[in-house]
Structure 1
Amino acid sequence: MKRARVVVVGAGVVGLSTAVCIAETLPLCSVTVVAEKFSPDTTSDGAAGILISEFFPDIPLARQRQWFKDSFDHLFAIVQSESSPEAGVMLSSGCQIFPEVPADTKPYWSDFVIGFRLMTDRELKRFPNHKFGQAFTTIKCECSSYLLWLEKRFRKAGGLVQQRKVNSLEELSISYDIIVNCSGLGSKSLVGDAEVYPVRGQVLKMEAPWLHHFVRVADGKTYIYPGIRSVTVGGTRQDGDWRLQLDEGDTESVLQRCTRLEPSLSQAKVLCEWVGLRPGRRSPRVERELVQLRGCRVPMVHNYGHGGSGITLSWGTALEAVGLVRQCLHEMPLKSNL
C-alpha cells in the first residue's frame, strides 16, 4: 500500500514529539519535519522543563488529565531507562508555595506526580511570606538534550528533516497529503489564529551545584529549578511582549526574587541569560480541519498554543494528534501519485 506524505511544521518539543509519535505508530505515513529553527535555536531549548501544568478553562478536565498523564508516563519511562542521561530527563523534588491559601489546594496533576503532599508549618517557616505549600517529586527535562534525542529517535523511525521557513500552507500542499501544524507562535501568521499571542520569558542559567530541590511560586513567575548542568532561575510571563532582547531590569528582578527565596544564590555564578516567546493561547488547539488549498481540500491537524506547558503536555497532545492523523488517513482518498 502506498504511503501518505505527512509534514509536521515546527521543531520545538511539541513538533518533534508529534513527529516521533506519527513516525513510530503509523507505518503508512512518510513523515517530514519542516521548520525554520531547530535545536538549539527553538523556544523549547530555553524552557525550564519542569512538569507542572496550568489549568485551561476551555478544555475538559478529563482531557487535560490524559495529556499530563501520558506525558509524565512517557518521560518517567525515560528516567528509568539507560537513555536518561542522553535525553536529559531526571526526577526533581521540591515545592510549590503560595502567598495565600488557594481555593484549590490539590491540582488535577497531583494524582500523577510522585509523593504529593501539603507542606508542614515547619517547612513553610523557610518562606515567611508564603502561607501554603505543596511538596512533590516531578520530572525535569533538559530540553537542549531532549530535543536532540527526539530528533535522533525520529530519524531512526525513518523521519526526514528540512530546515526552511514555511511562508504559506499552499507551498506545503504541493508535496504533502496531510499537514500537521505545530508552529506554536507562528500559527498567528501561518493559519491566521488571532488568539495566539507571545508570552515573553526571561531566565538565567546559574552555577549552584549545592542546590538539589526546586522552589516554585504558584503564579509561575518566580522559580528555581536545579538541573543536570545548571540551575534555571526565573522568570517573567509578559503577555503580548515580542521583545527578544535581554532586559537588565528583568534580570535584577529575577535575581532579587529568587535570592529572597534561596539566599545562597547570591554566591552563584550567572552562566548565561535567555529570552524566549512562549506560544500563549487561552487553551491549546488540538483538532483537525479541512483547509482549501490550491483548489483542493487538504486535511490538517493542529497541535499548538500550549503556553508555558509545552514540555509538560507535549507527549500527551502528540498522542491525541496521532489519533487525529489516523482519522484523516481513514477518510481521505490518497492521491494517485503517491
Structure 2
Amino acid sequence: MKSVRVVVVGAGVIGFSTAVCVAEALPFCSVTLLAEKFSPDTTSDGAAGILFAGKFPDIPLERQRRWFKNSFDHLLDIAQSQHSPEAGVMLSSGWQIFKDVQADKKPFWSEAVIGFRFMTDSELKRFPEHKFGHAFTTIKCECSSYLPWLEKRFRKAGGLVEQRKVNSLQELSNSYDIIVNCSGLGSKLLVGDNKVYPVRGQVLKVEAPWLQHFIRDGDGKTYIFPGMHCVTIGGTRQEGDRRLQVDEGDTKGILERCSGLEPSIGKAKVLGEWVGLRPSRRNPRVEREVVQLQGRRVPVVHNYGHGGWGVTLAWGTALDALGLVRQCLHEMPLQAKL
C-alpha cells in the first residue's frame, strides 16, 4: 500500500513536470494528477517552448539561475537521447537581437546555454535596426509532443491521471494528504490569488523548412522559432486581455514584423493560428503553506505564475516543488505516513 496520497492540480508543462518529479522520486507516495484540460488543449501546447528567460524582480538570481540550469540540463539529456523525436525536444541555434546595447550585456542564464557569445558586426548587418545581439544554442521543447511523453513517463512511475475540474481545495481535503497546486491562471479562483493575471499571446505556425535558425527581438514581441514540423512566429504580449479568438490585426502585424527580420517569411504557408493566455505574476509562486480544510490542516505546495517562461523553468521549479513536498512529509505526524 502506498501510504501518502499526493494530488497535483494542473496538466500543463508545470503540472506534469512536477507530477513526474514527485512520482519518480517518492515511490511510496501515490500521486494523482487532476485537470480539466489536457494536451492539446493547454496553454503550454501553443508555447514556442524555446529556452531563455526574463528576470523576476523579487526572486534571488541564484535561485532563478538554478531553475534555468536544471531545466536546461534535463531537456538537453532528452534532446541528445533516442527520445528526442517522440518528446519533441531538440537543439536550436540562433540570435537574440536588440535595438540598443544592453546595460546588462550577459543575461543571468548565459552560462547554461551552449556557446553563448556576442554577435559580430557582420552578423548584425542583416538586422539594420539592431545594434547588439547574442548568438547561442539553446533547446526547443514542443509541448504538443512533450506533454503526452511526460504523461506516459508519469503513468510508468505509477501515477494516476483523472480529468475533472477542481473548483476548490475543499473538495480534495478528504482524499489527499498533500495538495500540489500547478493550476496557472486557475489559481486566481482556486486559491484566491489576485496577483496572477493573463497575458494574451497569439502565434502563427508556418511552413518554412528552409529556416534553420531562430531569431528573437529582445523586446520579446517578435520572434521566429523553427521547430521539428513547422516554424512558430509571433507574437503578442497583451496584459489583462482574455480574448481567446484569433485577431486578424494581430496576424497581419506578426507577419509584417517577422518579414522585417526574415524577408522569406512572406513565402511561407500559414498552417494555423493559435491564442493562449500566459499565467503571469510579478514572481512565480513556488512555496508551501498549511491550509485549514474541513477541520484538517493540509499542506499545500504551490508552483504557478511563470508567465511566458513556463517551459523554460518547468523542470527547475518542479524540483523545488519536490523539495517542498519532502519537507511536508518530514513534518507529517507518523500515523499519517503509516
3-state SS of the aligned residue for 2:210? coil
Q: Does 1:129 align with 2:152?
A: no
Q: Does 1:245 align with 2:245?
A: yes
Give deviations 1:127-181, integer Å, cap 9, x for gaps.
0011100000000001100001000000000000000100010001121110000
3-state SS of the aligned residue for 1:328? helix
Q: Does 1:9 align with 2:6?
A: no
The residue correspondences of 1:33-48 to structure 2 (distance < 5 A) are 33-48=33-48
Distance 1:2 1:155, change over 3 A: closer
Distance 1:263 1:249, change over 3 A: same
Task: Give the conservation status (yes or no) of the 8 Å contact 2:235–2:254.
Answer: yes
Q: Does 1:138 align with 2:152?
A: no
- Look up the match of 2:324: 324
Q: How much identity, in percent, do the aligned residues show?
A: 77
- Look up the match of 2:310: 310
Q: Does 1:196 align with 2:196?
A: yes
3-state SS of the aligned residue for 2:266? helix
Q: Does 1:152 align with 2:152?
A: yes
Task: Give the conservation status (yes or no) of the 8 Å contact 2:3–2:337.
Answer: no
Task: Give the conservation status (yes or no) of the 8 Å contact 2:113–2:138.
Answer: yes
Task: Give the conservation status (yes or no) of the 8 Å contact 2:284–2:305.
Answer: yes
Structure 1 segments of 4 or more deviating over 6 A? none
Shift of 1:80: 1.1
Shift of 1:332: 1.2
Query: Please, what TM-score do these two structures have when normalized by structure 2?
Result: 0.99
Task: Give the conservation status (yes or no) of the 8 Å contact 2:4–2:336.
Answer: no
Q: Does 1:50 align with 2:42?
A: no
The residue correspondences of 1:56-135 to structure 2 (distance < 5 A) are 56-135=56-135
3-state SS of the aligned residue for 2:165? coil
- Look up the match of 1:213: 213
Aligned residue pairs total 338
Shift of 1:325: 0.2
Structure 1, unpaired ranges of 5+: none
Task: Give the conservation status (yes or no) of the 8 Å contact 1:225–1:233.
Answer: yes
Shift of 1:27: 1.4
Task: Give the conservation status (yes or no) of the 8 Å contact 2:114–2:137.
Answer: yes
- Look up the match of 1:165: 165
Distance 1:179 1:200, change over 3 A: same
Shift of 1:288: 0.3
Whole-angstrom CA distance in 2 between matches of 1:335 and 1:30: 16
Distance 1:91 1:178, change over 3 A: same
Shift of 1:47: 0.2
What letter matches 1:19 in structure 2?
A
Distance 1:316 1:146, change over 3 A: same
Whole-angstrom CA distance in 2 between matches of 1:115 and 1:337: 47
3-state SS of the aligned residue for 1:111? coil
- Look up the match of 1:20: 20
Task: Give the conservation status (yes or no) of the 8 Å contact 1:200–1:276.
Answer: yes
Whole-angstrom CA distance in 1 between matches of 2:2 and 2:151: 25
User: Alignment RMSD, CA only?
Assistant: 1.1
Task: Give the conservation status (yes or no) of the 8 Å contact 2:196–2:279.
Answer: yes
Shift of 1:99: 0.6
Give deviations 1:273-296, integer Å, cap 9, x for gaps.
000000000011000000011011
- Look up the match of 1:294: 294
Shift of 1:43: 0.2
Shift of 1:307: 0.4
- Look up the match of 2:182: 182
Query: Please, what TM-score do these two structures have when normalized by structure 1?
Result: 0.99
Whole-angstrom CA distance in 2 between matches of 1:130 and 1:223: 14
Whole-angstrom CA distance in 2 between matches of 1:131 and 1:266: 24
Shift of 1:335: 5.9
Give deviations 1:223-245, integer Å, cap 9, x for gaps.
00000000000000111111101
Whole-angstrom CA distance in 2 between matches of 1:273 and 1:123: 31
3-state SS of the aligned residue for 1:325? helix
What letter matches 2:76 in structure 1?
F
Whole-angstrom CA distance in 1 between matches of 2:272 and 2:2: 49
3-state SS of the aligned residue for 1:110? coil
Structure 2, unpaired ranges of 5+: none
The residue correspondences of 1:255-266 to structure 2 (distance < 5 A) are 255-266=255-266
Whole-angstrom CA distance in 1 between matches of 2:194 and 2:229: 38
Whole-angstrom CA distance in 2 between matches of 1:311 and 1:159: 21
Task: Give the conservation status (yes or no) of the 8 Å contact 2:2–2:30.
Answer: no
Task: Give the conservation status (yes or no) of the 8 Å contact 1:177–1:334.
Answer: no
